[in-house]
């Protein structure tokens, strides 16, 4: 019943460092619009107009929230500003841009109950009761992460044990591995499951001995019987999820993000936030398929809306699946599954047709391609379509995880953007070695090789699949070493990028990849004053220190949207 195994441990990761953000946001947004503002005494670093790293010590911001001017050491700063803030010598970087994530998935994930830390049934029951009490308006109580083995229970938990703590609303909790779900009596009743309900193919209903009535746990596909009855989120829940995602991202220093797969419901949530002045994240949106693209965008991309805070850029297309589940489409069979090459989710004709349909409307296609066959296919499609669709197309390839070395050079053609996720490399390393074998890894997570072709390299997290942790991503990008220091010296360290490239991939290139390079991404005159204060200089620190660095403050358009001090 699990549709995305990678979401399992999400809640635990997300919870750290985000408490009390709602209260902070309320306080911040109540402040009047700032007039001219000078922030001086900063250790400022940005990609400059010419694409090179520049340093500055002060930034002057106009009352539209744009950078009026930056000042280098010993340059004279203006005396006549309305407001002056002392940067206290802290490191200032452009606001981070996450070029590939799922905003609503991140928000919804953060709103569900996480039981992965519980060590007994009683502890889990207490957490469930507390969560239900804290969320009285939720029609269903949803969560995940329980593990009866860890609890020492020696059996599955029961519906009655859930009823004991929540009886007024249905409860549905996924097991830690996603292969079982635990419901209370109300959830089972809503699903219409009784003693007479047969086990579905590929699933098993745990039953009470004797009566055969459902006991509470539903294994594998039996869980679908319950989960399919969970109602779609109400708009208010979507708004809450979006607000939560925005908070989580700002707490990580992220001021702009490419949403990969925006539905009309997602879009409406973004617009509601914009319409009511609650949109602080800059969202570069890629519609969930061509139908959603047409519905959201109409004949073409939207304009930049809400002072450069929202734009439908294009469409997200899926050409294959993921490596872990062997859905990635490979040129040769999986090393650990002879005869299986994964499979394409679109025929060659359908891929070209959908890319053409997007390009005809000047929408930007962003094609998910993980396996080497998928990457070759989309590279070929771009090559064919580039003749018909001239101009500034910025064809995006999402993930580009496993590339046949013979195909690498094609990334340098037609202005392709390689949208990659550094932390996937460390998360996937052992799995990728198993799936591909040692001799097929030359083009795996090959950031540097791809960037060296001339492709525009941008980085993202794929949140909620991974934490939207830019600092961890930077550390991996320049080291190819994981949080535990493994492997020593880095995995295929020839693919590390230098710090300049890593910064660009998380800032200016991310803006370029989303047609935003005239609006934000650099701390230069005329661009939006989006920036972070860090406690660490990423050009001087070790990868470990960068990973452990702290985002102190996050500002969007010259206004603070996150302050670590308000968290404590």
Query: How many secondary structure helices (H) and strands (E) does the chain include?
Result: 18, 24
Q: Rule CB under 8 A: is residue 307 a binding residue for a copy of itself?
A: no
- The CB-of-272 to a copy of itself minimum distance in angstroms stands at 5
Burial (0-12, 13-18, 19+ Cβ within 10 Å), 306: middle
Dist. CA 37–CA 66, nearest whole Å: 10
Residues in the chain, overall count:
568
Q: Rule CB under 8 A: is residue 22 a binding residue for a copy of itself?
A: no
Q: Are 227 and 172 in contact (CB under 8 A)?
A: yes
Q: Rule CB under 8 A: is residue 469 a binding residue for a copy of itself?
A: no
Q: Are 107 and 265 in contact (CB under 8 A)?
A: no
Q: Which of 284, 330, 323, 338 is nearest to 306 (CA)?
A: 284
- The CB-of-269 to a copy of itself minimum distance in angstroms stands at 7
For a copy of itself (CB under 8 A), the number of binding residues is 22
- The CB-of-229 to a copy of itself minimum distance in angstroms stands at 18
| Residue keyed to tokens 């319950």 | 226
- The CB-of-297 to a copy of itself minimum distance in angstroms stands at 7
- The CB-of-389 to a copy of itself minimum distance in angstroms stands at 18
Return all residues near 347 (Cβ < 8 A) that are at least 6 apart.
none
DSSP state of 244: H
- The CB-of-364 to a copy of itself minimum distance in angstroms stands at 17
Q: Rule CB under 8 A: is residue 165 a binding residue for a copy of itself?
A: no
According to CB under 8 A, which one of 5, 305, 343, 566 is a site residue for a copy of itself? 305
Q: Rule CB under 8 A: is residue 276 a binding residue for a copy of itself?
A: yes
- Looking at the Cβ atoms of 264 and 350, the one nearer to a copy of itself is 264
According to CB under 8 A, which one of 32, 154, 303, 391 is a site residue for a copy of itself? 303
| Residue keyed to tokens 């206290």 | 88
DSSP state of 464: T
- The CB-of-275 to a copy of itself minimum distance in angstroms stands at 5
Residue 31 sits at φ, ψ, to 5 deg, of -70, 150
| Residue keyed to tokens 């469409």 | 315
- The CB-of-280 to a copy of itself minimum distance in angstroms stands at 17
According to CB under 8 A, which one of 4, 189, 224, 294 is a site residue for a copy of itself? 294
Structural element, H or E, at residue 257: strand 254-262
| Contact region with a copy of itself (CB under 8 A), list: 15-23, 135-143, 297-305, 323-331 | 297-305
425, two tokens: 């490399």
| Contact region with a copy of itself (CB under 8 A), list: 106-114, 152-160, 293-301, 321-329 | 293-301
Q: Rule CB under 8 A: is residue 275 a binding residue for a copy of itself?
A: yes
- The CB-of-498 to a copy of itself minimum distance in angstroms stands at 40
Dist. CA 170–CA 162, nearest whole Å: 10
Dist. CA 151–CA 131, nearest whole Å: 19
Q: Cis peptide leading into 487, omega within 30 of 0?
A: yes
- Looking at the Cβ atoms of 297 and 558, the one nearer to a copy of itself is 297
- Looking at the Cβ atoms of 152 and 277, the one nearer to a copy of itself is 277
- Looking at the Cβ atoms of 271 and 559, the one nearer to a copy of itself is 271
3-state secondary structure 416-456: CEEEECHHHHHHHHHHHHHHHCHHHCCCECCHHHHHHCCCE
Q: Rule CB under 8 A: is residue 339 a binding residue for a copy of itself?
A: no
Q: Are 47 and 503 in contact (CB under 8 A)?
A: yes
Q: Rule CB under 8 A: is residue 231 a binding residue for a copy of itself?
A: no
Footprint of a copy of itself on 233-272 (CB under 8 A) = 234-236, 238-239, 264-265, 268-269, 271-272
According to CB under 8 A, which one of 299, 339, 390, 391 is a site residue for a copy of itself? 299
- Looking at the Cβ atoms of 291 and 384, the one nearer to a copy of itself is 291
Residues near a copy of itself (CB under 8 A)? 234-236, 238-239, 264-265, 268-269, 271-272, 275-276, 294-299, 302-303, 305
């Amino acid at each position: 019943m699990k549709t995305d195994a990678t979401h399992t441990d999400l809640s635990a990761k997300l919870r750290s460092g985000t408490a009390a953000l709602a209260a902070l946001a309320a306080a911040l947004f109540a402040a009047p619009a700032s007039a001219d503002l000078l922030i001086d005494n900063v250790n400022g670093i940005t990609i400059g107009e010419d694409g090179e790293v520049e340093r500055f010590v002060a930034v002057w911001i106009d009352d539209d929230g744009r950078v009026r001017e930056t000042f280098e050491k010993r340059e004279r700063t203006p005396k006549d500003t309305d407001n002056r803030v002392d940067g206290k010598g802290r490191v200032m970087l452009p606001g981070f841009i996450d070029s590939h994530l799922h905003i609503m998935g991140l928000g919804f994930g953060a709103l569900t109950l996480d039981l992965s830390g519980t060590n007994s049934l009683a502890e889990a029951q207490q957490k469930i009761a507390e969560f239900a009490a804290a969320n009285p308006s939720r029609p269903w109580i949803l969560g995940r992460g329980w593990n009866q083995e860890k609890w020492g229970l020696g059996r599955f938990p029961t519906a009655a044990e859930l009823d004991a703590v929540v009886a007024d609303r249905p409860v549905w909790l996924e097991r830690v591995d996603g292969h079982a779900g635990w419901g209370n009596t109300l959830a089972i009743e809503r699903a219409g499951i009784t003693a007479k309900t047969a086990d579905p193919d590929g699933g098993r209903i745990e039953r009470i001995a004797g009566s055969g009535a459902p006991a509470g746990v539903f294994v594998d596909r039996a869980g679908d019987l319950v989960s399919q009855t969970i109602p779609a989120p109400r708009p208010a829940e979507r708004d809450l999820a979006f607000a939560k995602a925005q908070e989580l991202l700002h707490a990580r220093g992220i001021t702009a993000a490419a949403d990969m797969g925006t539905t009309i419901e997602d879009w409406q949530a973004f617009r509601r936030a914009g319409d009511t002045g609650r949109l602080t994240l800059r969202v570069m949106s890629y519609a969930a398929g061509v139908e959603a693209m047409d519905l959201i965008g109409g004949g073409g991309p939207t304009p930049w809306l809400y002072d450069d805070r929202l734009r439908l850029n294009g469409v997200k297309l899926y050409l294959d699946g993921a490596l872990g589940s062997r859905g990635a489409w490979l040129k040769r069979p999986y090393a650990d599954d002879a005869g299986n090459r994964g499979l394409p989710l679109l025929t060659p004709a359908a891929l070209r047709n959908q890319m053409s349909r997007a390009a005809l409307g000047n929408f930007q296609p962003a094609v998910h391609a993980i396996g080497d066959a998928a990457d070759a296919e989309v590279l070929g499609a771009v090559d064919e379509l580039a003749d018909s669709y001239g101009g500034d197309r910025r064809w995006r390839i999402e993930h580009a995880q496993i590339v046949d070395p013979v195909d690498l050079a094609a990334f340098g053609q037609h202005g392709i953007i390689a949208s990659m996720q550094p932390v996937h490399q460390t998360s996937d390393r052992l799995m990728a070695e198993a799936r591909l074998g040692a001799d097929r890894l030359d083009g795996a997570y090959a950031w540097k090789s791809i960037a060296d072709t001339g492709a525009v390299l941008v980085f993202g997290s794929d949140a909620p699949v991974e934490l939207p942790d830019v600092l961890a991503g930077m550390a991996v990008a320049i080291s190819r070493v994981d949080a535990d220091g493994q492997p020593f010296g880095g995995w295929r360290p020839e693919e590390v990028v230098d710090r300049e490239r890593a910064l660009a991939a998380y800032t200016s290139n991310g803006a370029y990849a989303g047609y935003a390079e005239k609006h934000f991404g650099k701390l230069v005159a005329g661009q939006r004053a989006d920036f972070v204060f860090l406690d660490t200089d990423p050009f001087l620190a070790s990868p470990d220190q960068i990973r452990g660095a702290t985002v102190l403050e996050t500002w969007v358009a010259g206004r603070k949207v996150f302050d670590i001090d308000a968290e404590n």
